[in-house]
Amino acid sequence: MSTLLSFILAISILVVIHEFGHFWVARRCGVKVLRFSVGFGKPLWSYTDKLGTEFSIAPIPLGGYVKMLDEREAEVKPEEVHQAFNQKTVWQRITIASAGPIANFIFAILAYWSLYVTGVSGLVPVIGTVDQDSPAYEQGLRAGDRIVAVDDESVDSFQEVSWQLISYIGETTQIPLTIEGGNQIQRRVIFPIESWLTDQEAPDPMKALGIKPRLLPIEAIIGQVLEGGAAQKSGLMTGDKVTELLVDDFTHEINDWRDWVELVREHPNQTMELFIQRTASNGELQQIKVQLTPRVKTVENGKIIGHVGAGIDPAAIPEIPKNWI
């Protein structure tokens, strides 16, 4: 849903800029604009200014249009003929018609310029965890190390690290990383690769090396419980804090929401025991044990995961420190 809304917002911005280009130049050339519409269909909202232009927002956000006075489309009052689009010179008509694309082009230049000036923030590439027996672990990378460069190209965020690593997919070569440890001494490590990640449908270079970003811990506090889901059936309630999880005869300490989610996803249709903290109505902290069986959910590529129908408490998400970005 959020992706769809972002798409609609992006399209709407481009439409407004494009149509405003036509609108602005048309008025400067003395053409009467009858309607400036964002979207198609019956207007949801409209307003007419003192010059007679109707501004409207319509429900189908797939475009927009600027309707101008034109003798070829409808009868025009004699006193308004001089404001008709078809009465303007050839160069004026060409300028009005091309103003929309030009406005989008100018907007693109300004957008890229602002990104260049302000920069795009992201998580500083400090390693949070390194998987044991992974290529990164074998090369001596540890939590707290910072990735300074990939193939001598400096990187300032994990996004930049990922972009650099993606370019190596399918290659048979070596990946050189420049690493800075806690002692601020830099060293160079080499990762030999052969037809790298070509056997994976969804290659993840960071995961392949065994590197995970430094992340702030998020307490496993339940923020919402979906009606009819496995979490509700087990008796989980909003505000419960998951502290331990027993599955496969092993008790996992839960210090982070991501730990709990990963264990749930890895054990579909398998009963587990949760140890939770719950605040009673009198304010007393209770220790409760519940049984939970994640339901089977099929995701992309036919992969099966566990799903319980519980969401995170937004209040448990900490603010990222400024020196982390």
Averaged in consecutive runs of 10 residues, what is the pLDDT profile of the chain (325 residues)?
64 89 95 91 90 90 87 90 93 92 86 62 87 94 96 91 90 95 91 87 86 90 92 95 95 92 94 95 93 89 87 84 76
pLDDT of res. 52: 92
E strand map for 194-240: 211-213, 222-225
On whether the pTM is more than 0.85, the answer is: no
pLDDT of res. 39: 84
Sorted by where each begins, the domain ranges of the chain are: 2-118, 127-213, 222-324
Maximum CA pair distance of the chain? 89
Are both 127-213 and 222-324 of the same fold? yes
From the candidates 19, 54, 273, 284, give the one annotated as an active-site residue: 19
pLDDT of res. 59: 81
Six-digit token pair at 310? 């519980």
Burial of 40 (0-12, 13-18, 19+ CB in 10 A): middle
Six-digit token pair at 104? 């989008």
pLDDT of res. 246: 96
Task: DSSP for 239-293, please give it.
Answer: T-EEEEEEETTEEEE--SHHHHHHHHHH-TT--EEEEEEEE-TTS-EEEEEEEE-
**The dihedral formed by the CA atoms of 14, 15, 18 and 21, expressed in degrees to the nearest 10:** -120
The residue type of 252 is: H
pLDDT of res. 115: 58
Number of H helices, E strands in the chain: 7, 18
Domain 127-213: state its class. mainly beta
**The dihedral formed by the CA atoms of 161, 165, 167 and 173, expressed in degrees to the nearest 10:** 140
Burial of 119 (0-12, 13-18, 19+ CB in 10 A): exposed
Comparing C-alpha atoms, which of 164, 129, 73 is closest to residue 258?
Answer: 129
Q: CATH number of the domain at 222-324, please?
A: 2.30.42.10
pLDDT of res. 316: 83
Determine whether 19 is an active site residue.
yes
